[in-house]
Structure 1
Amino acid sequence: MPLRAVVFDFGGVLFDWNPDYLYRKLIPDADERRWFLEQVCNPAWNLRQDGGRPFSEATAALITEHPQHAANIRAFSERWPETLAGTLADGVALMEALEAADVPLYGLTNWSAETFPYAWQHYPLLHRFRDIVVSGRLKLIKPDPAIYAEMHARINRDLPGIAAHELAFIDDSRKNADAASDLGWHGIHHTSAADTAARLRQLGLHF
């Protein structure tokens, strides 16, 4: 059966987010900055905020471990908008092509509930999705099957009877795309907008 809806991840697909954009200003030495972002404010630490942990709690705990880096740890949340460089033009073009073809679009993102409102306020393209599941609001994170189940349930309320194999999910994380595939969706590991578009067309979408 043809696809009935497409679900987008945001970071790395539609948004250019990278803590390095902020920390280039704070830690000029590349090796020192790399160490800080690998050992202190690292992806595993940040993922817990995507899973619902408050930044106040996360910041306090990390400062206890690394008191000499307190100012730079605080900056992660205090200056978070500087980690977001804007949108990715090719990803947005893909989204808009699907939108123009009347393909129902949804969002499923690992994103802190505290920082997502900034993106919602400053990037109106988010308002064009029929629904968005934000991990930090649910305290669930990809690749937990429960967050995909929540997304599917919401889409089903909008498009009654939609089956897993009628959904495509685009994510720049192979692990997260594969988790969708394991549930019967068409998980697409996003490496370029051109390759993702080609895969969607293989799946029967015309845009």
Structure 2
Amino acid sequence: MSASESGLPSMYYDRQFGLSAAKILPGEFFVTSQDMLIVTVLGSCVSACIRDPYTGIGGMNHFMLPEQRQDEGTLLSASARYGTYAMEVLINSILKAGGRRDRLEAKVFGGGRVLQNFMVSNIGEQNARFVKDFLLLENIPIVAQDLLDIYPRKVYFFPQSGRVMVRKLRAIYNDTIIQREREYGGRLSQEPLGGAVDLF
């Protein structure tokens, strides 16, 4: 079973790993019970890779908190409500696919400072803090993390085994990542609420 907030993500066959793969973009998520790969590229956004290790059912999201407006007050307002939705829709899809809430575990990635001058505050830090606080509140243990720093990351998640590979894009200035997140951040502010490989 698979699910995505905006329909099926881009699917392809990954020759390097010999597996079917789903590539998710900002604002999307994907859940599967199959032996496959979920891939995304993160700048200031964060991804939570959540799974039930007993069943191997798991998924990944890719989200950013909307820009905080002057009249919003604290982060725990419209921005946090959006982040909560992005997390809950992933968790609920895993449960619907047969995962059990009391067995869920998470690995979290992203929140790099790559969008200089994009927002008044550091949105990468806000995203990283939010995802950690949310999982703590929901009693879902974080068993691995790679957050903050200044690099974009490419994340490969294998839900059945729980393995995650992270490639930090140190040598590549990827304007596509930055432009994609700028456009995504712009959409969020207008929409209603609704290098080296590291193993984790």
Q: Which TM-score bucket, shorter chain as reference?
A: under 0.3
| Structure number, greater radius of gyration | 1
State the TM-score, normalizing by the size of structure 1. Answer: 0.26
State the TM-score, normalizing by the size of structure 2. Answer: 0.26
Higher fraction of helix? 1
Higher relative contact order (CA 8 A, sep 6+): 1
Higher fraction of strand? 2
